[in-house]
Homo-oligomer: A and B are copies of this chain.
Amino acid sequence: MTDSKFVYAFADGFAEGSAEMTDLLGGKGANLAEMCRMGLRVPPGFTLTSDVCTFYNANEGAFPDGLKAEVEDAMALLSQDMGLYLGDEEKPLLVSVRSGARASMPGMMDTVLNLGLNDVTVAALAGKTGDARFAWDSYRRFQQMYGDVVMGISHDFFEDIIDDYKFENALSLDADLEADDWQEISSKFAEMIEREAGQPFPQDPQEQLWGAIGAVCNSWNNQRATTYRRLHDIPDEWGTAVTIQSMVFGNLGDKSATGVAFTRNPSTGEDALYGEYLMNAQGEDVVAGIRTPLYLTKAAREAAQMEDLSLEEELPDVHGELIEVFKRLESHFKDMQDVEFTVQNGRVFILQARAGKRTVEAAIKIAVDMVAEGMIDETEALLRIEPASLEHLLHPTLDPRARMKVLTKGLPASPGAASGEIAFSADRAEALAALGKDVVLVRMETSPEDIHGMYAARAILTSRGGMTSHAAVVARGLGRPCVSGAGQLHIDIDRRTAQVEKHELKEGDVITVDGTSGRIMLGAVPTLEAELTGDFGSLMAWADARRTMGIRTNAETARDAERALRFGAEGIGLCRTEHMFFDPARIALVREMILADNAPMREKVLDQLMPMQRDDFASLFKTMGTRPVTIRLLDPPLHEFLPHADDDISALAEALGQTQEQLRWRIGELEESNPMLGHRGSRLGITAPEIYAMQLAAIFAAMKANKGKTPVEIMFPLIIDVAELRILKALVPPLAAEYGIADEAYQIGTMIEVPRAAMVADELAEEAVFFSFGTNDLTQTALGVSRDDAARFLPAYVSQGIMEKDPFASFDVAGVGPIVQMAADKGRAVRPELKLGICGEHGGDPGSIAAFYQMGFDYVSCSPFRVPIARLAAAQAAIKSGK
């Protein structure tokens, strides 16, 4: 026992506890005490400390010495405060008994409401409220709850009695039952309880009280709570506090009411009271939807053209008091509050106040407004916004006012909304796009050879595959909305149609894909573009002032680079040169290059590709100006560029002057068992240096045209040994010299994307001036998990709690973190000024960004749409680390 005081009372303007005492009183108890201290009218009560629970569970259900006396004292105070008394035949006090631990464990433990009701007090309640039905319904609910929680009688026994009664009396809904019906059910409950429990339902409110306290303490150790604690790392020894609080009633006549309110508009953030109420009603009635709740303010009522009076008009004093209360709550808790209140005979009781949930738009407006109001500072404002929530703002969104017909749903694989004509193949998508049409590419699943079509499309829809399927990953990288795994969609690729239940979609039909929600709509639904000015702009400026980590983007085209600049990117952290190879204008040349029989033939094709790639780089450099551009040389296995569909193969065979059979044989020869671990990255550079030489020449030619304005960083992918890096580095200076580029004008670095590279990072740092971590591949190799195949088992791993999150979405700090840390440490030991960056999908994930900040990274690079998220996440990481 850490304290000899077990009971902390709270009442009007007075409380023994406070907000700081969550350890002892739990979140709920401490918050109620705090509101009393503020002078708010809260239904009075008292809280038993978590020590009581701990003692109770450690001592076979015994309570500590002295507790009884303390509870009696607190109960006396409470009765006096309310003018009501437990078990009193005329003025019965009713209380709730609730759990409340130091950390929120929503719904895991037990609660008993309406305690104090018995065969006598139920009549007093009926008289006092003038609502016999309410009184008997409350009583039977109390029997049911207490019977279950304290006496251990299964729900089914209670439900059976109600069902039988309804059947016998030809009633179907609870609402059809009157006071008499509930009274009869209540007596049937009493009989059943005595039969099942071997003892009668306790009529003595004191017995009820101690039974409920014990049961709530006991519920700390039920199955649900234990599992929840294990999953959330909550220590078993904390225990729960128990709060006993008087019940209040909003249904005691025309000076009574109940309602919920947000202190600001949770949808827009506007500084105006927002919420609803019901006259002469219980809190349940607002939720149950039997009566229509009304507006709080006259302005809101008028805006909605409602006739029923607002609270402001109906009970102006109450409204005035509430406005005061809400102001005080906001200025006390420094945040918009979500408040439950009950008006009992004109007296306003605050039942609960907590930070209100809000849309991201509202969150931004409220945070920025509160800074202007001097309520919080900029740093606090930054911490108020969940970075990931910004995603929703950055992509085009469905116009909420638009009418739409939802056809089917899939997984929300890449956010944003777009409409277009259906194309069932990548080539068709490209052809339609070339005609200036908006296209949605619809496939069973996508493969690397579809990339030109994905690129040409405005959105992608697949009937198979998960959140980490090829389609999902590529779409996110390209910034295209994508819905994957829409299982109800049956695609008949031969007939070029898709069936959803009875509806048939043909090529050319227009659909809308909402990658944010996973919905597919028939026709073109209007969308809204992202607005990056105003409050959002202020917030981003504050973030930039506080963050220390650079934010770059992954981009290959001037268009993507422009968008990223608009979103605040400070450079390009990853230009995937192979994306340039997928361009339809050159894929045929790329295929010729791959299938060339020897180096001279290959070089001839490379000579044609060089000016194209040079122009790509030149346009990228022009867009980026003096901002750095990191270029990764060709990375994927060459066979990814080869065709697999029959049509494509026959076309290519014709172009090459080969038979289809010959071509298929060559393609088969290039196939790999595990392409992820195959002949790719710098391994291509070692075995076919002419490809990298072409790319390097293109880079230097573009630099020459650009007059060296853009700082260029060249990186070699999939490096595993310093010897590899040395051999490839040796290719560079002669080519630079050929274009008159000085060696100081560019930097050479390496990707770290397999564990071995991390192990030999000290050696690599001797040759590389920067490390860019490809955490996608590093996660695949460190975990031995292929992202393309993970859908078969990763969901089971997440649902069984083996992994908290998808390690491809959220960086695996425990498993991959040590490898990254080792590479960073080893590298910097050799080269203290070594630049460290991230260019995997994790570069745009807020939790991962915090981890990279801790590891001392210089920058993260992410897709254009994620740049603002990364800016905010980097600022939060810096703030939280106290720098």
Binding site for B on A (CB under 8 A): 672-679, 683, 686-687, 718, 720-721, 723-724, 727, 753-756, 759-760, 777, 780-786, 788-789, 792-793, 796-797, 800-803, 812, 814-819
Contacts and interface: CB of A to CB of B under 8 A. Distances in A.
A19 to B, nearest CB: 36
B777 A754 contact: no
B721 A803 contact: yes
B724 A678 contact: no
A780 B677 contact: yes
A833 to B, nearest CB: 24
Contacts of A678: 786, 789, 792
Contacts of A792: 672, 678-679, 683, 687
A561 B852 CA distance: 50
B785 A818 contact: no
A784 B687 contact: no
A781 B677 CA distance: 8
A774 B800 CA distance: 26
A802 B682 CA distance: 12
Nearest to A672: B789
Contact of A686 (B679, B783, B793, B819): B793
Contact of A793 (B679, B753, B814): B679
B674 A676 contact: yes
So how many copies of this chain end up in the complex?
2
B759 A724 contact: no
B674 A793 contact: no
B793 A687 contact: yes
Contacts of A723: 800-803
A195 to B, nearest CB: 37
* Among all A-B residue pairs, the 6 with the closest Cβ atoms: A754-B784, A677-B786, A674-B786, A673-B788, A756-B815, A678-B789
A786 B755 contact: no
Given A675-B674, A727-B800, A793-B679, A815 B720 contact: yes
B785 A677 contact: yes
Given A675-B789, A686-B793, A718-B784, 9 more contacts: A674-B676, A677-B677, A677-B785, A687-B796, A723-B801, A723-B802, A727-B802, A753-B784, A777-B784
A814 B796 CA distance: 36
Contact of A677 (B676, B797, B814): B676
Contacts of A814: 759-760
Contacts of A720: 783-785, 815
A679 to B, nearest CB: 4
B679 A789 contact: yes
A782 B796 CA distance: 25
A556 to B, nearest CB: 23
A801 B673 CA distance: 26
Contacts of A777: 784
Nearest to A724: B802
A814 B723 CA distance: 13
20 contacts: A672-B786, A673-B675, A674-B677, A674-B786, A677-B677, A677-B781, A679-B789, A686-B797, A686-B802, A721-B803, A721-B815, A724-B797, A753-B784, A754-B782, A754-B783, A754-B784, A756-B784, A759-B817, A781-B781, A781-B782
A759 B778 CA distance: 13
Contacts of A724: 797, 802
Contacts of A785: 677, 720
A678 B755 CA distance: 18
Contacts of A800: 686, 723, 727
A777 to B, nearest CB: 7
A463 B755 CA distance: 34
A470 B857 CA distance: 41
Contacts of A727: 800, 802
Given A727-B802, A796-B686, A797-B686, A673 B756 contact: no
A812 B720 CA distance: 12
A780 to B, nearest CB: 6
A803 B678 CA distance: 16
Contact of A789 (B677, B687, B788): B677
A439 to B, nearest CB: 26
A677, A679, A788, A793 — which one has the most chain B CB atoms within 10 A of its CB?
A677
Nearest to A815: B756
The listed residue with most B CB atoms (<10 A of its CB), out of A727, A756, A814, A818, is: A756
A673 B815 contact: no
A782 B683 CA distance: 15
A755 B801 contact: no
B759 A815 contact: yes
Contacts of A819: 755, 759
Contacts of A672: 786, 788-789, 792
A643 to B, nearest CB: 17
A784 B720 CA distance: 8
A777 B793 CA distance: 19
A810 B544 CA distance: 51
Nearest to A817: B759
A740 to B, nearest CB: 30
A287 to B, nearest CB: 38
A41 to B, nearest CB: 48
A674 B718 contact: no
Contacts of A683: 792-793, 797
A780 B781 CA distance: 8
Contacts of A786: 672-674, 676-678
Contacts of A783: 720, 754, 756
A789 B756 contact: no
A40 to B, nearest CB: 45
Contact of A674 (B760, B788, B812): B788
A484 to B, nearest CB: 15
A250 to B, nearest CB: 48
Contacts of A782: 754-756, 759, 781
Nearest to A681: B784
Contacts of A815: 720-721, 756, 759-760
B802 A721 contact: yes
Name the residue among A675, A792, A800 with the largest chain B CB count within 10 angstroms: A792
A817 B816 CA distance: 17
A814 B757 CA distance: 10
A756 B812 contact: yes
A837 B686 CA distance: 35
A787 to B, nearest CB: 9
Nearest to A671: B789
A660 to B, nearest CB: 19
Contacts of A759: 782, 814-819
A447 to B, nearest CB: 9
Nearest to A723: B802
A721 B718 CA distance: 26
A618 B724 CA distance: 50
A677 B784 contact: yes
A761 B243 CA distance: 44
